[in-house]
Chain A
Amino acid sequence: MSFFVETLVGGLLAGVMYSLVAIGFVLVFKASGVFNFAQGSMVLCAALTFVTLRDKGLDFWLAALITLSVMVVLGIAVERVVLRPLVNRPQITLFMATLGVSFMIEGVAQIAMGASVHELDLGIVDTPIEIGGVQVSQFDLAAAGTAGILVIALSIFFNKTRIGIALRAIADDPQAALSIGIRLQTLWQIVWGVAGFVSLVAGLLWGARQGVQFALTLVVLKALPVLIIGGFTSMAGAIVGGLIVGAGDSLAEIYLGSLLGGSVSTWFAYVLAVAFLLVRPAGLFGEAPIERI
């Protein structure tokens, strides 16, 4: 039984790491309806910039501040140079544009900062602790705490601030929002800047876990089922989706993998996502679109 609980807890904590990446997607989608395929590359860019600055001898906080500035500028540049000219184009056009942005970020990052693998030490202890007979990773607990704080902060931002409420209005009906004087472009720049900040947090935690290398972009592979399950427009959904994917993957790997004679977690999360799509197409917390016909 304790093994089952340990596997479950390990999976839940791993799922929170996926949620961190999924939150970045939700943020942009919620405010602009764009599925930002470049989120993984932004995570890589943030971690690579930070670790390059640290390697040059910069203090932790100074490096974090400069990286945050770089990410905010990058987010704003993407909105201004790539997405703004494509306003009112079909969703697929915007999606393809972010796909292009993704390759550009990766290419430029490699030219500017090289392809070497870097260690990233955040100073978080990674030795296991026992809680009620269950071994838990301290690093994973810290990551879960960070994700929790991030979700609370972003929820307050979206629900309690004027900018957040304006962003929600744009997401609901951009034309109506424009008609009452909400400045669409400025707010999109803000949201892309915040997405840059979320990328920095995700990049630092994933970078500390696996090293900063180009494979960081692959973390988005697991963020997609998280989004489908939790819903593309909900911060809480990203967390719950992450927990379901993490726990499901972990338990399936242990109990189903041995029966099937191979690794199952590559596809299990997607099977879960398809199952949710059939039952609840908008995800657990997503807003089902209602259109008058």
Chain B
Amino acid sequence: MSLRKQKRIMSRAIGLAALVLSAAAIGTTASAEDAKTQYFPLATFRVGAYASSGIPVWAGEIDYFRYINEVEGGINGIKLVWDECETNWEVEKGVECYERVKAGKNGSPVPIFLPHGDPISKALTEKSVADKIPLVTIAYGRTEAIDGRVFPYSFPVVFSFWSEASSAVNFIAEKVGGKDKLKGLKIATVYHDSPYGKETQVPLAHLAKTYGFEDIQIPVPHPGNEQSAQWAKIRQLKPDWVFLRGWGVMTPVAIKTAAKVGFPVDHIVGGIWSGSEEDVRPAGAVAKGYLAITPFPAGANFEIHQKLKKYILDKGLSDLKDPKSFGSVYYNSGVDEAIVAVEAIRTAQAHFGVRPINGEEAQWGLEHLDLSEKRLAEIGATGLQQPLKLSAKDHEGGGAGKVLQWDGEKWNVVSNGWVKSDRDLLLPLIYERAAAYAKEKGITPRDATN
């Protein structure tokens, strides 16, 4: 081989090595940059039967994350990054999504996983403990996970299904003139016949025994697009109030069928997942007067909405495709969820240092989260989010909802502020169930004093 040829080969090899090294350097820089960000994987369902419910939720969540990045420069300078994986609201896809993202992204750890689906959250309960990634399930998920001694990585923050049932009963009490007037009333729960739907049977039986009302339970099979038998039964039993715990198409069909049998719609109190614009609009005019209890009051006049409008929507940065959904129940639920996640990271950063937080540290952050009236006012979420303080013994923290009434066009708050649940009455039962779960699974409860 000639010298010239050798030189040429050598120079090419050097050039190639330089190219590889520079590419690696760029990759390392990108990884290092990513490692300085806080990663939030979002399990979304933008297609399929429940897409209409999900799309505004991610819009609220992503808009708030963008607001934190654009206006506040991230959480104490740590910018948020996120990506989505589609679950179609199906358990197997939700679990697959979790497995895919749990290791984080380019060195940025997963602090919190938001399953967005009651069955998915239940399927991930044990995996999240093994992986030390907290599941935040606002207004869904396993109620006994309130007991963080047994469920260290499950957080049914804000408003569990048991609190939902209790707040609904307390609202009815408000309407009839006090809890003593509940005695002798008939309250029928028309529920989605699934683990989610059955979740309120125990607390309602307990509350019925305590306050003396008759507790009637009427199941509706999935998906709930035909309910003539259930409402014929309502007509026969003549309850004073109906507590409607639906999901998806079940709610508008229930409202329409109630009207068909002549049951007054203003005596139906919808549960959390029966209380959005998507639930009442398809029912048309007969939905006027329908009530619903929610931890996500609708409205776009909260201070945070003004900020979101100014810095995100008006600048064309919003994820919202339909501007009518700005301030809707589902949009606001996304904002609420993002506030809880961001504040938990902020709390963890105050303890562990300003850097991307991992799952174990985020669990600490969640268990020390204190969303006081003052902090909510600073965020601009007064009235939108209820004050809450979490601990290892209490992964819920709030336990109150506002009651909305549909006027044919929009929701209006009709309760006197937040309607509190009887948490003192129900917590012993919740701890009992958590202890039974611990016994069944051979779990030794954590010491709650840490």
Contact = CB atoms under 8 A, between A and B. Distances in A.
B219 interface: yes
Contacts of B232: 3, 6-7, 10, 250, 254
Contact of A126 (B48, B222, B286, B322): B286
A139 B257 CA distance: 11
Interface string B336-351: 0000000000000000
A117 B50 CA distance: 10
A107 B235 contact: no
A17 B226 CA distance: 10
Contact of B221 (A127, A210, A215, A265): A265
Interface string B230-247: 101101100000000000
A263 interface: yes
Given A127-B259, A128-B260, A211 B219 contact: no
Contacts of B51: 110, 115, 214
Contacts of A13: 228
B52 A209 contact: no
Interface string A203-232: 000100111111101110010000000000
A250 B252 contact: no
A118 B280 CA distance: 10
Contacts of B219: 257, 262-263
Contact of A215 (B223, B283, B286, B321): B223
Task: Choose among A118, A139, A222, A253 the residue with the greatest number of B CB atoms under 10 Å from its CB.
Answer: A253
A225 B277 CA distance: 34
Contact of B52 (A121, A137, A214): A214
B145 interface: no
B282 interface: yes
Interface in B115-145: none
Contacts of A100: none
Contact of A116 (B52, B222, B256, B284): B52
Contact of B222 (A110, A249, A257, A266): A266
Given A210-B225, A254-B229, A119 B49 contact: no
Interface string B268-283: 0000000000100111
B292 interface: no
A133 to B, nearest CB: 13
Contacts of A3: 232, 236
Contacts of B233: 254
Interface string A175-211: 0000000000000000000000000000000100111
B402 interface: no
A266 B46 contact: no
Nearest to B253: A210
A253 B230 contact: yes
A265 B282 contact: no
Nearest to A268: B221
A70 interface: no
A117 B56 CA distance: 12
Interface in A250-280: 250-251, 253-254, 257, 262-266
Contacts of A262: 193, 219
B261 A135 contact: yes
Given A3-B236, A135-B262, A211 B49 contact: no
Interface string A114-150: 1111111100001110000001010110000000000
Task: Choose among B50, B219, B228, B286 the residue with the greatest number of A CB atoms under 10 Å from its CB.
Answer: B228
A215 B248 contact: yes
Nearest to B322: A116
A71 B333 CA distance: 37
A119 B262 contact: no
A121 B282 contact: no
B55 interface: yes
A111 B156 CA distance: 34
A13 B374 CA distance: 57
A193 to B, nearest CB: 27
A24 interface: no
Contacts of B321: 114
B49 A213 contact: yes
B220 interface: yes
B188 to A, nearest CB: 13
A118 B282 contact: yes
A210 B257 CA distance: 10
A251 B230 CA distance: 10
Nearest to B226: A14
Contacts of A114: 321-322
A11 interface: yes
A263 B236 contact: no
Given A119-B281, A126-B260, A128-B261, A213 B47 contact: no
Nearest to B252: A211
B249 interface: yes
Given A7-B232, A117-B52, A250-B229, A110 B47 contact: yes
Contact of B282 (A212, A250, A264): A212
Contacts of B49: 213-215, 217-218
Contacts of A110: 47, 51
A130 to B, nearest CB: 10
B229 A211 contact: no
A135 B236 CA distance: 12
Contacts of A218: 49, 223, 225, 249
Contacts of A264: 221
Given A10-B229, A214-B48, A117 B278 contact: yes
Contact of A253 (B52, B229, B256, B322): B229
Contact of A137 (B229, B252, B260, B284): B260
A11 B229 contact: yes
Given A128-B262, A218-B225, A213 B282 contact: yes
A271 to B, nearest CB: 13
Contacts of A209: 225, 253, 256
List of 3 A-B pairs having minimum Cβ-Cβ separation, nearest first: A211-B282, A115-B51, A263-B219
Interface of B: 46-52, 55, 193, 219-223, 225-226, 228-230, 232-233, 235-236, 248-249, 252-253, 256, 259-262, 278, 281-284, 286, 321-322
Interface of A: 3, 6-7, 10-11, 13-14, 17, 107, 110, 114-121, 126-128, 135, 137, 139-140, 206, 209-215, 217-219, 222, 249-251, 253-254, 257, 262-266
Given A212-B282, A218-B249, A219-B225, 9 more contacts: A13-B228, A107-B47, A115-B47, A119-B282, A139-B260, A218-B223, A218-B225, A250-B228, A265-B226
